[in-house]
A and B are shown apart, each in its own frame.
Chain A
Amino acid sequence: MSTSNRKERSAIDRKTIGQIMDENGVGRRRFLKYCAGITALMAMPPGMTAAFAQQLRAARRPTVIYMPFQECTGCLESLTRSFAPSLESLIFETISLDYNHTLQAAAGDAAEAARHEAMEEAWGEYILICDGSIPTRMDGIYGASAGHSFVDQLHEAAEGAAAIVAVGVCASYGGVGAAYPNPTGAVGVSDIIKNKPIINVPGCPPMPEVMTGTLVSFLASGVPELDKHLRPKAFFGNTIHDRCYRRRFYDEGKFAESFDDEGARNGWCLYKLGCRGPTTYNACATIKWNGGTSWPVEAGHGCLGCSEPDFWDQGGFYEPMTAKLFDDTGQIAAGAAAGVAVGAVAAVASNRRKKKLTGAADKETSS
């Protein structure tokens, strides 16, 4: 990158989002409308929209570095799904996405150089977005890019970050990479970085509105309120079960027993078909997918629990969350046999002892 570009970039980066909106001809009311959409998404009271819009306008345009690790790119695909110019595309116009393998034109040394330059210029202020788990076995050799292991890259990139957003269940907890038997020693970002604010936005993939909503919320007012898994409570505060439109069928005891049966066609509860709704915290039931079109339960398939840790290892997806999670290869039968045997021995021993005592007593009475 040339020196003049660098100066230009610095000038741009000092502008506020409000200034950038003005320069791009995005009027106040249009911006306010987008903010109304975001506050509705986050279940904030509508009266807070104006204040939120002001905070967002006053925020400085951030540099964003997006580092992919052991991932399938599903999270980025989800993030870039936008339906016509919408708030997702607005966010992309708002942030300065300075590094992203899939989206950037540059490659190789040039791309790495650009990343380091962007990091240096915005040191201490850039947002680091990570997706994919980080393999740690054998010094992290299972994942490497540009000659460095993912572990090293994460450490380096995290050092100058203002905050880290771990997108997807892999970056949050390890995800599919960490599923049994976890051959690469895959872990989430928060298992490695301990000294930076981390926001987990899990899901497999996470919802696009949740990702962009979290970014915008961070820009406007810093790290939002997080739950014990470091997920924003605005999106991950309720279980699917508590917001499910089929909940009344659960309460009434009306369940689909198999796919495509009478109950399934009537839209009844999918608990018996393995729905993880009761223990899954996510926004699918309210925000829905594909621009509000539908979501798994509405489409007739139980929730997989894809925003929860270890969701891959919770037993069959078509068995309920409370199902047994063991394989009995005759141990219970063996226990039963042992019980009968011990019982028989106990009875025989007891009878023998009784006979001995009564035998002695008989001898006494008869003599």
Chain B
Amino acid sequence: MTQAIPLAIKSAPGKSTTIGGGVQAMAHEILSHLQRLHETGETAAIDLKSLPMAPDEFHGIKKMLGQGEIDLTLELDGPTRIRETAYAGIWWIQHTGKDGRILAEFIEITRFPDFLGAQPDQIADAARHLRDRLEKQSQGAA
């Protein structure tokens, strides 16, 4: 081996290459979910990792949906970001691991994402703990 071969690797598609359904198609799908949410209360979610999308399509849909009032980042072994888009009822959720790898990314069409809510069995546990604590306090006082 004498010299390194200058390699110009081009593996990404060209600019504005449309692969999947394109921004329009996805927006239409989101719209139909949103209408259903409004009419029947039925929630939906779209797994962004499962759709073959060109990078500019991904940014396109992100830009189109915009940013709403809520932008939360939770620290759970790596950041989890929950954003409300500019459209009420459309949320953008990104779970990232500690190494920066995106574990899951999806658009949820719902009143508020499942993830934000307290889990039912967690509530039961919390009630039990609080009751135990209050009992202990009253015993201590007595």
Binding site for B on A (CB under 8 A): 18, 27-30, 32-34, 36-37, 39-40, 43, 45-47, 49-50, 57, 83-87, 243, 245, 248, 260, 265-267, 286, 291-292, 298
Contacts and interface: CB of A to CB of B under 8 A. Distances in A.
Contact of B7 (A46, A49, A245, A265): A265
Interface of B: 5, 7-13, 19, 43-47, 49-50, 52, 74, 76-77, 80, 95, 97-99, 101-106, 108, 114-115, 119, 121-122
Nearest to B122: A28
Contacts of B50: 40, 43, 286
Nearest to A287: B49
A37 B115 contact: no
Q: Determine chain B's interface SS by DSSP, over half rule.
A: loop
Contact of A46 (B76, B97, B101, B104): B104
B49 to A, nearest CB: 5
Given A33-B95, A37-B95, A49-B114, A83 B122 contact: no
A57 B9 CA distance: 46
Given A36-B103, A43-B50, A291-B101, A85 B77 contact: yes
A298 B101 contact: no
A43 B46 CA distance: 11
Nearest to B116: A29
B24 to A, nearest CB: 20
A127 to B, nearest CB: 24
Given A46-B45, A83-B97, A36 B104 contact: yes
A162 B52 CA distance: 38
Given A40-B47, A248-B19, A267 B10 contact: yes
A245 B54 CA distance: 10
A84 B97 contact: yes
Given A27-B76, A47-B44, A57-B121, 15 more contacts: A29-B76, A30-B77, A33-B76, A37-B97, A45-B45, A47-B45, A84-B97, A87-B103, A248-B13, A260-B5, A267-B10, A267-B12, A286-B49, A286-B50, A291-B97
Contacts of A57: 121
A102 to B, nearest CB: 24
Given A28-B122, A46-B47, A47-B45, A33 B10 contact: no
Contacts of B76: 27, 29-30, 33
A29 B115 contact: yes
A276 B17 CA distance: 27
A85 B45 CA distance: 27
A32 B97 contact: no
Q: Determine chain A's interface SS by DSSP, over half rule.
A: helix
Contact of A85 (B52, B95, B98, B103): B98
B99 A83 contact: yes
A33 B103 contact: yes
Contacts of B9: 265, 267
A292 B22 CA distance: 24
Given A46-B106, A265-B7, A29 B74 contact: yes
A292 B100 CA distance: 10
Nearest to A243: B52
Contact of B99 (A33, A43, A45, A84): A84
B104 A39 contact: yes
A228 to B, nearest CB: 24
A47 B104 contact: no
Contact of A50 (B47, B105, B114): B114
Contact of A33 (B44, B80, B105): B80
A30 B45 CA distance: 20
Contacts of B19: 248
Contacts of A28: 119, 122
